[in-house]
Amino acid sequence: MIQDHEPIRRRVELDRAEALRLLASVPLGRIVFTRQALPTVRPVNHILDDGDIVIRLHEGAALTSHARQDPGTGVVVAYEADAIDPVTHLGWSVVVTGYASLVTDPRELARIRSLLRPWAPQQGMDQAVRIHPELVAGVLLTSPVEERR
């Protein structure tokens, strides 16, 4: 319920290009995948590389195993990132749904390792997963005052 003293906020849908641009502007997001038939969420850092989201994982990670089992099309995942001010509740959120595939080419893997350092270093973080976005949904949470600027 909106109280009288709370500012009015608007929800503006973002197009694919703007949503991916915003996602690329932050270093951290959340990967969502299925583990033992249940949804699992893990915070990870990422880069956007040639339109795909790339994350690094360790050999024993559940997503590494899933992606290895289906090297053809990959496994269905969702990826979410946002930047929302905790005081004003203004900002944006982007959710991408797509297929995650294990990066197996040694040259590509070496290039990714040089571009993306794990935010929580762990031994064996030498795997990478490339998520090809199929569905991209983004929303901008804004106020009428901000829109006039």
Domain that holds residue 113: 13-148
Going by pLDDT thresholds of 50, 70 and 90, the confidence category of residue 59 is: low
Establish if 7 belongs to a structural domain: no
- Average confidence (pLDDT) over 7-27: 93
Q: Which residue is it, tokens 């979410």? A: 80
Q: In total, how many domains does the chain have?
A: 1
What is the domain-level CATH number for residue 138? 2.30.110.10
Establish if 2 belongs to a structural domain: no
Going by pLDDT thresholds of 50, 70 and 90, the confidence category of residue 148 is: very low
* Residues 80-117 pLDDT 10s: 999 999 999 999 999 999 999 999 899 999 999 999 98
Q: What is the pTM of this model?
A: 0.85
Render 68-112 in DSSP notation, one character per residue. HH-TTT-EEEEEEEEEE-TTT--EEEEEEEEEEEE---HHHHHHH
- Average confidence (pLDDT) over 125-129: 85
In this structure, which amino acid lies at residue 55? I
Beta bridge partners of 31: 42, 79
